[in-house]
Amino acid sequence: MLKNSKFGLDFGTSNSLIYSDSKGILINEPSVVALSINDKTILSVGEEAKEMIGKTPEGIISKKPIKGGAIANYKVSESMIKYFFSKISKFNMRTQVVASISSGLTSVEKRAIYEAIMNSGIKKIYLVPEALLSAIGANLPIGTSSGNMVINIGGGTAELAVISLNGVVVSESIRVGGDSINEAIISYLRKHHGLIIGDQTAEMVKLEIGSALPLTTPLEIEIRGRDTITGMPRSLTVNTNITVEAIKAPLGNIIQATRSILEKTPPELSSDIIDRGILLTGGTALLRNIDILLTRAIGIPAYIADEPLLTTVKGASEALKYIDLLSKNIKNF
């Protein structure tokens, strides 16, 4: 058990991460819980629970308790957080946690996240906007008067913000992310190819051959699902350019939100963003060519953080060193 008393927490729709400056990544597991329907007993959490999605027998359900960056099931979320922290540390009165939150959450939704963490045994909690923590984790010069733009695309939301002088100048949160892309792939294959697939298969398609733009030499993968007409199992070979067509809508929503943010940005900061570019973080930033798509659509260079999956949680841990400077962006209860 660690005696460290300072942690960064990225409690995401798809994955939950806990980071310590002294030890690095302590937890990086899917935000999934498997539980008994009858008595609500938790059977497994994280990677093991994710493997059960779509495969559970009667009486067991495997679910994500976080939807669109907000808690959809309070008790299950609380148990999941408690489980993750119990694996790494014994708390004391000095234990502090900075947790990322979506800027689009209501006060009630933020309060739910705060209490879920508090009921895990932690008493000193700072809730900080996800995009701001991503900027810190990517070592952007947020303390200066220059403008920095960040787009964090996670599993449930895309968090967009322009940051200057240690604060968020303008921001927007849309419920579009990796899950939306999976759903778009599922819908497209059902409608245009008569094949029903599950979320796990859609995720595999996205990761292995997915792209925001067509490839000269498309990648291919064979998938299996159920035929919409016969109801029988069937195989289908899909290629990258099919996924490009399938995910146009969710990516279009991110492009539109980016334009909306830039239209609200003060002119003095807009010129900085043109010079500095737009930082992309979050798991969906790993989608092939998403940076090129945004650059072409917006006309401003977009670039991907060195470790887009870890940028936010690293920023959360780092933020504890500068918590006073970030006070105007912190939500406490």
Confidence class for position 3, pLDDT limits 50, 70, 90: low
- Work out the average pLDDT over 57-79: 84
pLDDT score at 39? 75
Query: Distance of CA 163 to CAs 142, 146, 148, 267, Å?
Result: 6, 8, 5, 14
Fold of 178-246: Actin; Chain A, domain 4 (3.90.640)
Give the Cα separation of 262 and 295 in Å (integer): 13
Give the Cα separation of 325 and 318 in Å (integer): 12
Residue 90: is its pLDDT beyond 70?
no
Contact between 87 and 27 (Cβ < 8 Å)? yes
More confident residue, 5 or 9: 9
Residue 332: is its pLDDT beyond 80?
no
Sign of the C-alpha dihedral, residues 281, 287, 289, 290? negative
Q: In this structure, which amino acid lies at residue 98? A: V
Residue 275: is its pLDDT beyond 90?
yes
pLDDT score at 92? 59
Tens of pLDDT along 146-195? 999 999 999 999 999 999 999 999 999 999 999 999 999 999 999 999 99
Give the Cα separation of 320 and 165 in Å (integer): 17
Residue 61: CB atoms within 10 Å? 15
More confident residue, 58 or 146: 146
Give, for 225, the enclosing helix (H) or strand (E): strand 220-227
Confidence class for position 1, pLDDT limits 50, 70, 90: very low
Determine whether 69 is exposed, middle or buried from the number of CB atoms within 10 Å of its CB (0-12, 13-18, 19+). buried
pLDDT score at 333? 66
Residue 4: is its pLDDT beyond 60?
no
69-73, 223-227, 260-264, 298-302: the lowest-pLDDT one: 69-73
User: What percentage of the chain carries pLDDT values higher than 70?
Assistant: 97
Read off the DSSP letter of residue 87.
T
Residue 2: is its pLDDT beyond 60?
no
CATH architecture of the region 140-176+252-308: 2-Layer Sandwich (3.30)
Q: Which residues contact 215 (CB under 8 A, 6 or more apart)?
A: 240, 241, 288
Residue 62: is its pLDDT beyond 70?
yes
Residue 217: CB atoms within 10 Å? 7
What is the average pLDDT value for the chain, to the nearest integer? Answer: 91
Q: Among candidates 69, 64, 96, which has minimal Cα distance to 80? A: 64
6-20, 41-55, 140-154, 252-266: the lowest-pLDDT one: 41-55
CATH class of 6-132+313-329: alpha beta
CATH 3.90.640.10 range(s) for the chain read 178-246
39-53, 128-142, 253-267: the lowest-pLDDT one: 39-53
CATH 3.30.420.40 range(s) for the chain read 6-132+313-329, 140-176+252-308
Contact between 150 and 135 (Cβ < 8 Å)? yes
Q: Among candidates 47, 14, 32, which has minimal Cα distance to 285? A: 14
List the strands of the sheet with 15-20, edge to edge: 24-30, 15-20, 6-11, 96-101, 124-129
Residue 216: CB atoms within 10 Å? 4
